[in-house]
């Protein structure tokens, strides 16, 4: 089978790279099938593509809506036709006209605006107007959670059968670890001290991250602890500005911003964390929380229905706008060993469930059925 994947037009760099990784892993698992990546950029991720992936670089000639429309409805179908693909997949949520093969569309944040904070008014207007047409063309529409499926099905009852839940696929490298590996990681990064860890997107989340720093300050003052707080950015965007803010932070010696890590190093740091802290108001990517859960690490996260669906009893839930609420839950995990162990046990159950699932296989079954 030949599978064409339209990576052009991803809403953000982080979503683009996440999509590349998902389909790269799918290609590795399906070595007997061929994949064509159609993309407007060539990031570092592309330098290590398996041999069954062909890369085609193409993008609209300009940002004008007429150029965009021409590319999606004329250029893209022509490119796909030349590849002799059996199916076309759109991770960015936009399908194409004039395409005589099945299309699978991944819904983005603009499909269910009631669940996500979406800032771009032009994209809001575009998807509000074109969502029914896009869904009408698609053989399947992929969402990340049951809550999104329910919300979208209520908006478009006739499309209910098309909407499928495929949870984010996390590599096997994220897993719980033993005492000795945890100690080795702590010795390497925190002089052997325990630490809370944030891993996620910084750009646009400055207020939430400042609230986390305020909460950590309160914990340090009240508990007189040598506990540390680590930040691992999920992309390069927003890192420089946050690093500048840390320069004047009172407890900056106990806070580390660690950038430029290999994925294995990120996995080791997550697995060795005392708890994973994710107090972001806008939650569009559950990957970071799923990594922590798959690593058996207790989570402190925003009180959000999407997060609750995946984290369940493996997390404590906070008001992201209230730094005292975050501080109280940091203190609870820090002081109450029994409460933390209970969270950890729930996380280990979730870890087993996540490892038993196979999102890549589930998605391939949809491809096969659509074809």
Residue 46 has pLDDT above 50, yes or no: no
Under the banding of pLDDT at 50, 70 and 90, the label for residue 182 is very high
- Which of residues 40 and 11 earns the better pLDDT score? 40
Output the six-digit token pair for 136: 């009408």
CA distance 276 to 288: 9
How far apart, in Å, are the Cα atoms of 281 and each of 14, 150, 205, 314, 333? 18, 21, 8, 19, 21
Residue 291 has pLDDT above 50, yes or no: yes
Q: What is the mean pLDDT of residues 334-358?
A: 85
Say how many residues make up the chain. 371
Q: Kindly report whether the global pTM for this prediction surpasses the value 0.85.
A: no
pLDDT digits (tens, 9 = 90+) for 59-112: 887 777 777 888 888 999 999 999 999 999 998 888 888 888 999 999 988 888
DSSP letter for each residue of 208-223: HHHHHHHHHHHHHHHH
Three-class SS state of 2: strand
Residue 126 has pLDDT above 70, yes or no: yes
Residue 240 has pLDDT above 70, yes or no: yes
CA distance 275 to 297: 6
Helix H segments across 138-178? 146-155
Kindly report the number of other CB atoms within 10 A of residue 304's CB atom: 20
**Chain mean pLDDT for the chain:** 88
- Positive or negative, the CA dihedral 293, 297, 302, 308 is positive
- Which of residues 268 and 7 earns the better pLDDT score? 268
CA distance 159 to 105: 13
pLDDT digits (tens, 9 = 90+) for 157-177: 988 999 999 987 777 788 889
Under the banding of pLDDT at 50, 70 and 90, the label for residue 45 is very low
Cα-trace Rg, the chain:
21
Output the six-digit token pair for 183: 């100690």
Lowest mean pLDDT among 114-123, 192-201, 291-300, 330-339: 114-123
Q: How would you classify residue 9: left for phi > 0, otherwise alpha for psi between -120 and 50, otherwise beta?
A: left
Task: Give the chain's domains with CATH numbers.
Answer: 2-171+357-370 (3.40.50.2000), 179-356 (3.40.50.2000)
Residue 13 has pLDDT above 60, yes or no: no
Picking from 108, 104, 123, the residue whose alpha carbon sits closest to that of residue 65 is 123
């Amino acid at each position: 089978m030949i599978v064409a994947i339209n990576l052009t037009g991803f809403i953000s760099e982080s979503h683009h790279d996440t999509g590349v990784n998902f389909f790269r892993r799918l290609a590795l698992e399906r070595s007997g099938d061929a994949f064509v990546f159609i993309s407007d950029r060539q990031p570092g991720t592309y330098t290590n593509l398996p041999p069954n992936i062909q890369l085609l670089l193409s993008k609209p000639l300009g940002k004008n809506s007429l150029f965009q429309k021409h590319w999606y409805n004329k250029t893209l179908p022509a490119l796909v036709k030349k590849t002799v693909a059996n199916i076309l997949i759109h991770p960015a949520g936009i399908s194409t006209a004039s395409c005589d093969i099945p299309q699978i569309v991944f819904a983005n944040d603009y499909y269910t605006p009631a669940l996500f904070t979406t800032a771009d008014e032009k994209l809001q207007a575009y998807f509000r107007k074109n969502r029914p047409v896009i869904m009408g063309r698609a053989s399947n529409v992929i969402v990340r959670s049951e809550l999104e499926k329910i919300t979208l099905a209520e908006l478009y009852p006739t499309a209910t059968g098309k909407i499928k839940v495929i949870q984010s696929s996390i590599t096997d490298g994220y897993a719980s670890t033993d005492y000795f590996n945890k100690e080795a990681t702590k010795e390497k990064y925190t002089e052997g001290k325990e630490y809370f860890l944030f891993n996620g997107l910084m750009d646009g989340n400055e207020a939430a991250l400042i609230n986390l720093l305020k909460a950590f300050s309160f914990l340090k003052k009240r508990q007189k602890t040598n506990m540390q707080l680590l930040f691992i950015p999920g992309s390069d965007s927003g890192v420089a500005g946050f690093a500048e803010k840390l320069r004047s932070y009172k407890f900056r010696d106990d806070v580390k911003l660690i950038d430029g890590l290999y994925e294995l190093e990120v996995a080791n740091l997550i697995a060795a964390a005392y708890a994973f802290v994710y107090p972001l108001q806008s939650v569009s990517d559950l990957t970071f929380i799923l990594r922590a859960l798959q690593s058996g690490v207790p989570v402190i996260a925003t009180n959000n229905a999407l997060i609750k669906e995946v984290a369940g009893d493996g997390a404590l839930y906070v008001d992201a706008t209230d730094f005292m609420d975050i501080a109280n839950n940091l203190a609870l995990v820090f002081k109450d060993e029994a409460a933390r162990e209970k969270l950890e046990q729930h996380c280990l159950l979730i870890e087993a469930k996540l490892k038993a699932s196979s999102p890549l296989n589930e998605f391939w079954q949809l491809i096969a059925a659509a074809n």
